[in-house]
Chains A and B, each alone.
Chain A
Amino acid sequence: MSIRGYVARPGGIAVLAAVAGALIASLASLAHTTSQPLVATTAMTEALAVPAFLGAGVLRLARWRITGEAHCALRGGAMILMGGLALPSVSLARTLAAPDGDLTIVTFVRAVTAGVVLYVLAVALSDDESDRVDLGRKVVWLTATTAAATVLLVTLRDRVPPSPTIEPTLADGVEVALAIAWLTVAAAAAVRGNRAHWARPAAPLLGAMGLSEVFRVPDDAATTLVAAALTAAVGFLVASSALMDLVRAAQDERDETHHLTRELAQARDAVWTRKAWQDELTHDARSTLAGIRAAVHTLDRQGDRLDPATVDQLRAATLAELSHLEHMLVRRNTDTDVFDVSEVVRTVTDVRRAAGLQMEVTLESALVRGVPGDLATVLQNLLVNAHEHAPGAPVSVAVRTTGAVVHVTVSDDGPGIPSEAADTAFERGFRGTDSRGSGLGLSIARTLVRQQGGELELGQAGTGASFVLSLPLVTPAAVAVP
């Protein structure tokens, strides 16, 4: 299991807390060998908390470098202040706690550092993402004020005689004030959780810090050890959550990169497809226009030198090319859909029947994916063709499924297509069978069917002409998927 997977489990945090507890216990047993067991254990526990906070701060700053989130920078800074100044100064205070030791300066440094930490956390909590510059300025001001106050105190200490009654009171006062400050920030974090997603998980830890200050108030070795253990445990939890967040940020960054790469590939493909389509359309349109221009010119200048049949064919072919051009430009509704071929056939044949065409229609339900409008256009074209090609002869339309394919056969009892014309039936131009019909022409009909993955071919008719349109069927399972 990856580190991330491990620390992300709720149990992972409990394990970390247990490890911290075990460490503290083993340190305590070690310390029993010394003359002042509790005090020594407390010092070592506090020493343990220092690297935890420093590590957490570095990890937070690393996350800030990756994500650029302001709160990460502020929290990282706060943790480094905590581990680098606030906690060592507590240890320092204890080391110097000789009966006649002067604790004023240490207490003051501790109070000020913890104050800075709290202030930074409070600022992070009230952080408005658009206001980072202002935040930075506030932190700089506060640091400067702290430094000035420290210098002032050092100067004053030499002038004021040490007073044994004031110092313990001062120390207690600082601890109570800090406890209240931690608990206030914790409450603020709990409330702010709605807006700053990181604040709510931090609230219990901030509360624990407040609690550890409360435990420090009575000047008792046992409660001070509890306070130190609490601080160390918080340090470990903070470090583990910082690591977890860093790992997550790195993973997110990687995911984001791959997501962008994929998007880029898709955008590129889309642009190329679109460009290819556009080039093809331009080329086709220009070619078609050139053909029309050539035909019109030839009819205009040389019409009287051509035989009437050729003139008629050229005219018909020109009109067919104009329809083709129009179709190229105005084909709008090209949304593919799953539909029943038989419904389209029924609609089209009903219309043609109303127009006087005799038809024998055989239907069978067959679901395909394609453009219903295009299929209707093709069928209409085939029926018009049959009507003009074999006037009065009955036309049969049959929908039949074979395996995974549906065949729509349109056949008539007319004279049929001569075998020498069969090869050119689907070509554009006046040599093909197009010239007889009006409308779209067989070549574009075939193109439309092919675009839907199907095929349009001449069928094996007994006497008349027969066209077979085939389309792949859609399996019921595929229909269910949108």
Chain B
Amino acid sequence: MSPRERRRRLRVLIVDDQRLLVDSLSLALRLEGLDPLVASVADAAGLVELVQADPPALVLLDLDLGGALGDGTDLVAPCVAAGARVLVLTGTTDELWMAAALEQGACAAIDKGIPFDDLLGLVLSAAHGQTVMEPTERERLLHHLHAHRASRARDLAPFESLTPREQQVLRALSLGQTVSHIAEAWVVSESTVRSQVHAVLSKLDVRSQLEAVAAATRVGWL
């Protein structure tokens, strides 16, 4: 392959921890005339530097990368800012997660589970700068994400109104500690803790400590 030919080839950076998929995909992409590059999934900063130094046409990004990279969503924005398109290729079925990646600027989010032919076709289209995700589908996912965020903010609002000390009290209660245990551990009087418990109950609009803990668990505050 001459340097000139190499320049013509579109570069695709693959960021995924499923080695067999990475290897097969890079073999297939090479045969399709692209220039695939497999990124090390051990170092997020290095990955971003690599993209910034010489932005590839496309970054294929898994979301659940585990280990050092963790959540792939965080990598979308830096890659997009560097001038690369980002195509999310994921094993997750969590639509909110995919939507978050779209919000960060990914051009599409694709389920790894689709037939490999389709997968390859979408990757090729994306590398060539074509639209790979229906705008309506994109809108739907983003709308879903915003609706979810709004409802979550609503659920969490009462918990946000707790003072730091009241939050500590609620956490201690959720561990099954009694008012007297808490008072002893914090070296304060029981009546102080009791009034904090009352403040928690009234702010959360619940009638018992058990109900408060159940509410915190239900909305995922704990």
Interface residues of A (CB under 8 A from B): 254, 257-262, 264-265, 268, 282-284, 286-298, 301-302, 305-306, 310, 314, 317-318, 321, 427-432
Q: Majority SS of interface residues in chain B?
A: helix
Residues of B within 8 A of A429 (CB): 18-20, 22-23
Does B115 lie within 8 Å of A293, measured CB to CB?
A: yes
Q: Which 6 A-B pairs have the closest CB atoms?
A: A429-B19, A262-B176, A291-B20, A294-B24, A290-B112, A291-B21
User: In residues 200-218 of chain B, which contact A (Cβ within 8 Å)?
Assistant: 208-210, 213-214, 217
Instruction: Contacts A283-B64, A290-B112, A306-B27 given; indicate if A254 touches B21 (C-beta within 8 A).
Output: no
Q: Which residues of A contact B91 (CB under 8 A)?
A: 283-284, 286-287, 290
A99 to chain B, nearest CB (A): 61
Q: How far is the CB of B149 from chain A (nearest CB, A)?
A: 20
Given contacts A258-B176, A264-B210, contact A427 B27 (CB under 8 A): no
- Chain A nearest CB, measured from B75 CB (Å): 17
20 A-B residue pairings within 8 Å (CB atoms)? A258-B177, A262-B176, A264-B214, A265-B175, A268-B222, A282-B93, A286-B91, A286-B113, A288-B18, A288-B20, A293-B116, A294-B116, A297-B28, A301-B28, A314-B24, A317-B19, A317-B20, A318-B20, A429-B22, A430-B19
Q: B117 at the A/B interface (Cβ < 8 Å)?
A: yes
A295 to B208, CA, bound (A): 57
Contact across chains for B21 and A257 when beta carbons are under 8 A apart: no
* Chain A residues, CB < 8 A from B24: 291, 294-295, 297-298, 314
Number of interface residues of B (CB under 8 A): 36
Give the residues in chain B near A283, CB-CB below 8 Å: 64, 91-92
Report whether B174 and A265 are in contact in the complex, using a CB–CB cutoff of 8 Å.
yes
Smallest CB gap from A282: residue in B: B93
Closest-CB distance, B118 to chain A (whole angstroms): 11
Q: Are B19 and A431 in contact (CB under 8 A)?
A: yes
**How far in angstroms is the closest Cβ of chain B from A236?**
30
Closest-by-CB residue of A relative to B41 is: A427
What residues on A are CB-neighbors of B174 within 8 Å? 261, 264-265
Contacts of A264 in B (CB 8 A): 174, 210, 213-214, 217
A261-B209, A268-B222 known; 16 new pairs, CB 8 Å cut-off, are A258-B177, A261-B213, A264-B174, A265-B175, A265-B176, A283-B91, A286-B93, A294-B24, A295-B20, A297-B28, A302-B27, A302-B28, A317-B23, A427-B19, A429-B20, A432-B19
Chain B neighbourhood of A254, CB < 8 A: 178
Residues in B neighbouring A288, C-beta threshold 8 A: 18, 20
Q: A428 CA to B18 CA in the complex, in Å?
A: 7
A310 to chain B: which residues have CB within 8 Å?
27
What's the least CB distance linking A1 to chain B, in Å? 15
B21 touches A294 (CB 8 A): yes
Please state if A287 and B213 are interface contacts (CB–CB under 8 Å): no
CA distance A262 to B208 in the complex (A): 14
Contact with A along B4-34 (1 / 0, CB 8 A): 0000000000000111111111011001000
With a cutoff of 8 Å between Cβ atoms, the chain A residues found around residue B183 in the complex are: none
A59 to B112, CA, bound (A): 68
Nearest chain-B residue to A259 (Cβ)? Answer: B176
- Bound together, the chains give a CA A260 to CA B213 distance in angstroms of 10
Given A261-B210, A287-B91, A305 contacting B31 (CB threshold 8 A): yes
Interfacial chain B residues near A294, Cβ < 8 Å: 20-21, 24-25, 28, 116, 119
CB-nearest residue of chain B to A321 = B20
Contact A297 B117 (CB under 8 A): yes
Q: In whole angstroms, what is the CA distance A429 to B213 when docked?
A: 46
CB distance from A233 to the nearest CB of B (A): 35
Residue of B nearest to A297 (CB): B116
A291 to B19, CA, bound (A): 7
Contacts of B145 in A (CB 8 A): none
Complexed CA–CA distance, A292 and B17 (Å): 14
Q: Provide the residues of chain B in CB contact with A258, threshold 8 Å.
A: 176-178
Contact B173 A287 (CB under 8 A): no
Closest to B94 in A: A279
Asked if residues B210 and A287 are in contact (CB atoms below 8 Å), the reply is: no
Residue pair B112, A286 in contact (C-beta under 8 Å): yes
A292 to B116, CA, bound (A): 10
Chain B residues whose C-beta falls within 8 Å of the C-beta of A306 in the assembled complex? 27, 31
Q: Determine the chain B residues whose CB is within 8 A of the CB of A291 once the complex forms.
A: 18-22, 24
Whether A430 lies near B210 (C-beta < 8 A) is no
In the complex, the answer to whether A428 meets B19 with C-beta atoms within 8 Å is yes
* Chain B contacts for A257, CB-based, 8 A: 208-210
Residues of chain A lying within 8 A (CB to CB) of residue B178: 254, 258
Instruction: A287 to B210: give the CA distance in the assembly, Å.
Output: 41
Most-contacted residue by chain A among B18, B62, B115, B209 (CB, 10 A): B18
* B 113-127 to A, binary, CB cutoff 8 A, 1 in contact else 0: 101110100000000
> Closest A-chain residue to B217, C-beta based?
A268
**CB of B103 to closest CB in A, whole Å:** 21
Q: Given the complex, which residues of B lie within 8 Å of A259, measured CB to CB?
A: 176
B133 CB to nearest chain A CB (Å) = 18
Q: How far is the CA of A306 from the CA of B62 in the complex (A)?
A: 26
Inside 8 A of A298's CB, which chain B residues have their CB?
24, 27-28, 116
Give the shortest distance, in Å, between B155 (CB) and chain A (any CB): 16
B134 to chain A: closest CB distance in Å?
22
On whether A287 and B112 interact (CB within 8 A), knowing A257-B209, A268-B222, the answer reads: yes
CB nearest neighbor in A for B92: A283
How far apart are A447's CB and chain B's nearest CB, in angstroms? 11
- Once A261-B173, A294-B119, A297-B117 are accepted as A-B contacts, the answer to whether A430 and B20 lie under 8 Å apart by CB is yes
Q: How far is the CB of A257 from chain B (nearest CB, A)?
A: 6
Cα-based distance from A294 to B22 in the complex (angstroms): 9
Q: Which residues of A contact B175 (CB under 8 A)?
A: 262, 265
- B93: nearest residue on chain A (CB-CB)? A282
Chain B CB count within 10 A is highest, among A254, A264, A432, for A264
